Structure formats: C-alpha cells, structure tokens
Amino acid sequence: MSNIAKSGRWPPSKAETSEPSATPNVVPIRVESGQDALDSFSSETSRASGEPKTTSKGVSPAVTTKWLIAFGACFAIGAMAAAAYYTRDRFIAPPPAKPSPLTGRAVLNSRPDGAAVSVDGVSRGVTPVELELLAGSHDVVFRAAGAERQIVLKVEGGSRVSENVDLPVPVAGGALEIGSDPPGARVTVDGTAAGVTPLAIHGVSAARHHVAVGQGSTVVTRTVDVANGATASIFVSLSAQAGAASGTLAIEAPVELRILEGGQLLGLSNGAPIVLAAGKHQLDLVNDTLELRLARPVTIESGKVARLAITAPTGTLSVNASPWAEVFVDGRSVGVTPLGALSLPIGTHELIWRHPQLGERRRTVVVGALTAARVTMDFSR
C-alpha cells in the first residue's frame, strides 16, 4: 500500500515518503560491571533479533568453564603450598644446636664395665657413662671390686672427649705361704689339716683365717688376712720353743699394722694375740698405704701377755676451696680456707666444706706419715 493510501493526505509528509534504509541499525554495546564484552554483545544481538535477553547471571558455558579452570588452578597451588609448609620438617632436618662454650661432653668407659665413677668427689654413675661437665680439669676416679684408678680429665667447651681405662680383673681368692724353723711342722688352717711346712696353699678365700703351726707339744697360732690376688706369708720359729716356755703378744694401734720379725709375717695388730717364745724380739710394724714403718723391741715372759701400745704419728693436710668455705675435719671445724699444713693423725678422715650460699660438699682423704696430703673443692662444679 502506498504512503498516500496509508495517510489519506497529499502531499505526503517527509517521514511518510522516506523508504526504509538498507543499512541495519547499529545498536551500541553497553558493558556492565563484571560482564564480559562478548556476553554483552551476545545479549544485545539477541535483543535485536527478538530473542530473550540474557542477564549477567546467565553467562555462556565457555566463559563458565574458563572461570572454573582458573579457580581450580588457584586452589591447587594453595593446596600444594599448604602441604609443603606442614610437611617441611619431615624432609628438612633442623640445624643442630650449637654446643655451649662453657661445657663439654665426656664419655667414660672401663674394662670391664660397671665401674663406679666419681667426678671431683661426686658420684656420677657407673661405666659406660656420658656426662656433661664444665670446661676445665676434673679429677675422675674409677672403682670396681676393690680396684681403683684415678685420672685427670681435661674438658674443652663445646667439645666431646672420650676416656677408657683398664681395671684389674678381680681374682677369686689368694694364696697363703707358711714356713717354720725347723721345717716339717704340722699346719692347720681354720681347724682343718693343710700339710707340713714349708707349705703354699692357693685358692684361699679372701677372708681372715686362723693358722696353727705345731711340732710335738709346741703349737703356735697366727691370724692372717688373705686378699683376692694377694699372697700372705707366715713364719714360725719352733726350735727355741721345743720344751721351752712361751708367752703372747697383743698390740693396740689406731690403724692396722702388719707385724714382722726378720722379714716374716707374724700376724696383724687387730688380730688375735700372737704366741712367741719367751725372750727378746725385734718387731717391725708396717702399713704401706699410710707410709708407716716402726721398729719396736718387745720382751716375752713365759705364760704372760705382753702388751704393746702404738700411737699413730701425725701427717699434714692442706685444704682449699673456690670461692671459699668453712672446713670441718671429722666433724670438728678447723677454720676457713685456705688452710695449710694442718696436723692430723695418719689415717682416713672425712672433710666437709660449707658455704652459706653454695651449700655443703663432702670428701674422704687419706693422710700419710711422710707425704703431705692436698685437697681442694670447687663449688662451681
């Protein structure tokens, strides 16, 4: 139908006479926030073609897949980082702790094992043992089955030192040698016949034994101590006692002494009285540990007991402490350190160091007759 027919007017208006343009309408694309340009173009195209409008929530499948892939990659990277963080200690060893320059480690071994160990007078267990000690020198004592070994151990800060010592293997029992003048005398040990002199008996138990040596009606008894791995000797003179009178000798001494006559062991000072022929005798009283050797004459009367009292000589002791301490010897205060040339009876004494802030330390010390004993206590150890 023509434009005239449509409007019924003449001449027709300019709008009515214009023909449809062959150029398609261009619809501007408006991109909303958070919307892909391709989605906007599709939405506008769909709107122009009369298709239902696609909102930002209804994005295309291709775009959805792209965002899911990106999200999945980020999640995987985060999971890998978390796994690496929480498992790092299983694969990466922490750096070793730096040793202290003030202390070091000491490994103490003995052969055989099981020796008691004391460091600077303090018990620290049995071998094998590993200890942490202050840097410096330490007095270490190993004790096992009556044997003792003492060393000076030097420890350097931040280092590890090892020390091995050999201790004597304990021998089960000792030996007993018995002689007489004249030879051929009967011998009994603890009431059991053992043979005739000269006689050597091995495998004697480590203990005190009673030995009787006799010829005819003359019998001399002795008491002797036998130690593991040691040999004890007894000699008895019977020739002067045949048909002659005899007496006994008892010795009182604060320390144990071996009683010798002519180099032969007669007995021990703390044992039973010794039977000797009547007459004069020259005796040697010996204690090697205490550096003591005394010569004493004695006269034995028939049927009587001769008593000999021995007064132990004195030795010297020097005591010190770091920083300082009051010192007690056998429970008696002797002053504050340093203490030099203390005069003490020979033998074993107990020392106590007391400091008002650092406490109390104890140690035993042996004072001999000749060599001065020296001992110190370090409260920092």
**What domains can you pick out in the chain, each with its CATH number?**
103-166 (2.60.40.10), 174-309 (no CATH), 314-378 (2.60.40.1120)
Task: Note the pLDDT tens digit of each residue in 161-220.
Answer: 888 888 876 666 788 888 888 888 889 888 788 888 888 898 888 888 888 888 876 777
pLDDT bucket at 34, cuts 50 / 70 / 90: very low
Query: What pLDDT does 84 receive?
Result: 63
Beta-strand relationship, 314-322 and 373-378: parallel
**Average pLDDT of span 284-291:** 90
The residue type of 321 is A
**Average pLDDT of span 288-313:** 89
**Contact partners, residue 271, CB within 8 Å, separation at least 6:** 208, 222, 223, 224, 225
Whole-number percent of the chain with pLDDT over 90: 23
Query: What pLDDT does 170 receive?
Result: 61
Highest mean pLDDT among 95-99, 277-281, 325-329: 325-329
Task: Note the pLDDT tens digit of each residue in 41-63.
Answer: 444 444 444 444 444 445 566 65
pLDDT bucket at 36, cuts 50 / 70 / 90: very low
Query: What pLDDT does 41 receive?
Result: 44
Distance, in Å, from the CA atom of 348 to the CA atom of 91, rounded to the nearest integer, reads: 60
Q: Cβ of 287: how many Cβ atoms within 10 Å?
A: 20
Query: What pLDDT does 98 receive?
Result: 58
Query: What pLDDT does 316 receive?
Result: 93
Is pLDDT larger for residue 268 or for residue 315?
315
Is pLDDT larger for residue 161 or for residue 275?
161
Query: What pLDDT does 96 receive?
Result: 56
**Average pLDDT of span 56-77:** 67
Task: Note the pLDDT tens digit of each residue in 93-123.
Answer: 555 555 567 889 999 988 888 889 999 988 8
Query: What pLDDT does 237 receive?
Result: 75
Q: Strand, helix or coil at 104?
A: strand
Residue 7 has pLDDT above 50, yes or no: no
The secondary element (H helix, E strand) that includes residue 294 is strand 292-300
Q: Give the DSSP letter of residue 242.
A: T
